[in-house]
């Protein structure tokens, strides 16, 4: 917000008659305008929804996010917002809420957990290509590793299709007692 700074208006009327204090205060007006702009910038960068390029870059650095070259400020802002509000425990309702936030509200997806197996099927009806990476991150963080995640893209989508799985590895160590 641009603020008009007029320091002369704060002077009592009898001092306004002298040229030196008036000229000195008029010369300081641009400096106070710059100070107000800096205060506004700090205030806007305090919130993710109003942060500029610098504010989003700071939060990305805190969260370990590396944006792509062609990412817009709005997609970067949505990505930071998504990761900033992570809370445990993760439930189906929390997953649906996060997916709804990712897709900008509305019903652009359907989540189904097969009751007889450890399979989660996510059907995405419409999605921007810039959201693919964030969707993959969201599912990798929120869905437990022992649940296989299947993503079905309905409609037009020119991206990668991933199927989730789990991996188990064990080292077998045999201990024997030495006999004297």
**């990412």: which residue's tokens?**
71
**What confidence tier does 142 reach under pLDDT thresholds 50, 70, 90?**
confident
Residue 81 pLDDT: 87
Spans of all domains in the chain: 7-46, 88-180
What gap in Å lies between CA 22 and CA 16, rounded to an integer? 6
pLDDT score for 177: 75
Residues 98-127: tens digit of each pLDDT: 888 888 776 688 898 888 888 999 988 876
CATH of domain 88-180: 3.30.300
Are 111 and 95 within 8 A, CB to CB?
yes
Whole-number Å distance between alpha carbons of 1 and 122 = 43
Question: Does the pLDDT of residue 141 top 80, yes or no?
Answer: yes
**55-106 per-position pLDDT tens digit:** 999 999 998 888 888 888 998 998 898 888 776 677 888 888 888 888 877 6
pLDDT value for 159: 55
What confidence score (pLDDT) does residue 46 get?
92
Q: Six-digit token pair at 118?
A: 């450890």
Burial of 64-86, coded b for 16+ CB within 10 Å and e otherwise, reads: ebebeeebeeebbbbbbbbbeee
For residue range 10-19, what is the model confidence (pLDDT) as tens digits? 889 888 889 9
- Could you tell me the pTM of the whole model? 0.51
Residues contacting residue 153 through CB under 8 Å, at least 6 positions apart: 124, 127, 159, 161
* pLDDT cut 70: percent of the chain above it: 84
The DSSP annotation for 72-129 comes to -HHHHHHHHHHHHT--SSP-HHHHHHHHHHHTTSS--EEEEE-TTSSEEEEEESS--G
């Amino acid at each position: 917000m641009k603020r008009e700074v007029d320091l002369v208006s704060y002077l009592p009327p009898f001092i306004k008659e002298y040229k030196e204090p008036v000229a000195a205060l008029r010369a300081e007006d641009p400096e106070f305008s710059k100070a107000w702009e800096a205060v506004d910038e700090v205030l806007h960068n305090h919130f993710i929804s109003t942060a500029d390029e610098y504010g989003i870059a700071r939060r990305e650095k805190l969260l370990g996010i590396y944006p792509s070259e062609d990412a817009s400020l709005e997609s970067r802002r949505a990505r930071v917002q998504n990761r900033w509000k992570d809370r445990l425990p993760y439930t189906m309702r929390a997953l649906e809420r996060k997916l709804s936030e990712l897709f900008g509200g509305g019903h652009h997806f359907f989540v189904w957990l097969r009751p007889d197996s450890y399979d989660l099927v996510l059907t995405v009806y419409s999605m921007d290509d810039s959201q693919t990476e964030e969707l993959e991150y969201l599912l990798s963080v929120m869905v437990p590793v022992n649940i296989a995640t299947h993503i079905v893209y309905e409609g037009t989508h020119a991206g990668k299709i991933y199927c989730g799985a789990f991996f188990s590895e064990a080292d077998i160590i045999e201990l024997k007692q030495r006999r004297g």
